[in-house]
Structure 1
Amino acid sequence: MYATLVLSILALLSGFGMRYWINRRKFYRRSSLGAEGFSSYEKSVFISFLERTGKWIAYILIVFGLLFLWSYSRENKDSKEMIQKEVSYVHV
C-alpha cells in the first residue's frame, strides 16, 4: 500500500526534476538576443532531440505519478470503508 505512495512521489519528483533541468539548460544556453548557441549543427540536432525526448519521458513520469497517487487514494479509501463495515458488524 505504501509502495504506491512512494512510487507516485518518486515519479512526480523525477518528472518535475527532469523538466526543470532541461528547461534550465535551455535557458542558460541562450544568448542576450534570445538565440540558442551551439558549436555545430550536429550538436544542435542531437541535443534538441535528446531534450525533446527527455521532456516526453518527464511528462510520462508525471502522468504515472498522478495515476499512482490516485491509485493510492483509492486503496486508502477502500480500506477505510472495509474497516468501517467491520466495526459496524461487530456492534450489531
Structure 2
Amino acid sequence: MVASLVIGILFLVLGMALRYWINRRKFYRRSPIGAESFSSYEKSVGIKFIERVGKWIAYALIIFGLLSLWVYSREKNDNEKQTKAVESTR
C-alpha cells in the first residue's frame, strides 16, 4: 500500500522534472528574436527528436504517477471500510 504512494510521488516528480528540464533547455536555446539556434542541421533534428521522445516519456511518468496515487487512495479507502466493518461486528 505504501509502495504505491512512494512510486506515485516518485514518478510524478520525475515526470515533472523531466518536462521542466526539457523546456528550460529549449528556452535557453532561443535567441532574442525567438528563433532556436543550432550549430548544424543534424543537431537540430537529433535534439528535437530526443526532446519529443523525452516529453512523451515525461507524460507517461506523470500519468503512471497519478494512477499509482489513485490506486493508493483506493486501497486506503478499502482498508478503512474493512476496519470499520470489523469494528462494527464486535
For the superposition of Structure 1 and Structure 2, which TM-score range results when normalised by the shorter chain?
Answer: over 0.9
Aligned AA for 1:72? Y
Give the TM-score, by structure 1 length. 0.97
State the identity %: 62
* Cα shift readout 1:45-88 (whole Å, capped 9, x = no counterpart): 00000000000000000000010000000000000000000000
Structure 1, gaps ≥5 residues long:
none
Match of 2:53 in 1: 53
Tell me the distance in 1 between the aligned counterparts of 2:70 and 2:3.
13
Aligned AA for 1:7? I
1:72 equivalenced with 2:72 (yes/no): yes
Tell me the distance in 2 between the aligned counterparts of 1:56 and 1:66.
15
Give the aligned length: 90
* Cα shift readout 1:2-60 (whole Å, capped 9, x = no counterpart): 00000000000000000000000000000000000000000000000000000000000
Structure 2, gaps ≥5 residues long:
none
Instruction: Give RMSD over aligned pairs.
Output: 0.3
Give the TM-score, by structure 2 length. 0.99
> Which runs of at least 4 in structure 1 moved beyond 2 Å after TM superposition?
none
